[in-house]
Amino acid sequence: MIGDKKVLFSGMQATGNLTLGNYLGALKNWVKLSDEYECFYSVVDEHSITVRQDPAVLRKRSRALLTLYIAAGLDPEKNCIYYQSHVSAHAELAWILNCFTYMGELSRMTQFKDKSAKHADNINAGLFTYPVLMASDILLYQADVVPVGIDQRQHLEITRDIAQRFNSIYGEVFTIPDAYYGKAGAKIMSLQDPTKKMSKSDENPNGSIYLMDDPDTIIRKFKRAVTDSEAQILYREEQPGIHNLIDIYSVCTGKTPDEVVKEFDGRGYGDFKLAVGEAVVGQLKPLQEEAARIEKDKAYLDGIIKNNAEKAGYFANKTLRKVQKKVGFPERVR
């Protein structure tokens, strides 16, 4: 806890381009949390290199992601928005926590199994110990809550296990974080396979709407969206493609699914797809314009990067020094 507020931590990788699903399901909801919590939002670039990256592309995408955080409405004065790699305490704590984490725990992580299958030529130790670095991200800031999706629950569970194990040996060093669920964010599915989540790593670019897609591209992707042969706009699980389009339109317009079904009663899929595309264009236009404005102001963005790295470092190092003392490392001479 910092002051009267509980601490919330979250982050995104700078690999791929953020999708409409990332925005509507997570980023847009983050903006509402800064009044209630002391928020730390990281660009987790250290996690990104478990898979080989083009260095120039990673740097560019990291800056673009940090820019999008701000463009989406995260106030850098109220929220600590920073690069993970600019706070060395993340890696330092990860090494210590590696020594309190068991091989069996890590081998059960489903994400390790999934990524190993996708990158069989690069099954590296970082990929295996990825959850320990994630635990460090969270525990450094004594986070009370962490927004999690289904695919991250396992990582939060191992974070809690590591923290409890450390605390049982050395006393109450770490806050044990809880999952933050809050109001459910929109779960946006692929436009080409509506049984799967929209993903920035989708091999089919037509399946995802990227936040910086231009209007023509967005409309074209929605026109190609997979639907069905029923020719009825109904909100039901048996029509996953239409169900997904209704969810997207609902979030972008503020209408309920029932209101959307009534609005398009008797109209064809072509009309509906176009309307959804136009609603998304309208939703993303202010975000894109603000991102372009921020991007041009290099001094402003560099100042945020510097100041927030210092702020994150201050809180992270308070925890790190305590941990180092507990495990017996020599105190630093000042």
Query: What amino acid positions are annotated as catalytic residues?
Result: 115, 197, 200
Give the pairing of strands 37-43 and 178-180. Answer: unpaired
* Cα separation values, 57 from 49, 53, 62, 208, 296, Å: 12, 7, 8, 20, 18
> Which residues 6+ apart lie within 8 Å of 2 measured at CB?
38, 315
3-state helix/strand/coil string of 12-63: ECCCCCCEHHHHHHHHHHHHHHCCCEEEEEEECHHHHCCCCCCHHHHHHHHH
Contact 80, 10 (CB under 8 A): no
Decide: 68 and 31 in contact? Cβ < 8 Å: no
List the end-to-end C-alpha distance of the chain, in Å, as a whole number: 28
Burial 138-152 (b: 16+ CB within 10 A, else e): bbbbbbbbbbbeeeb
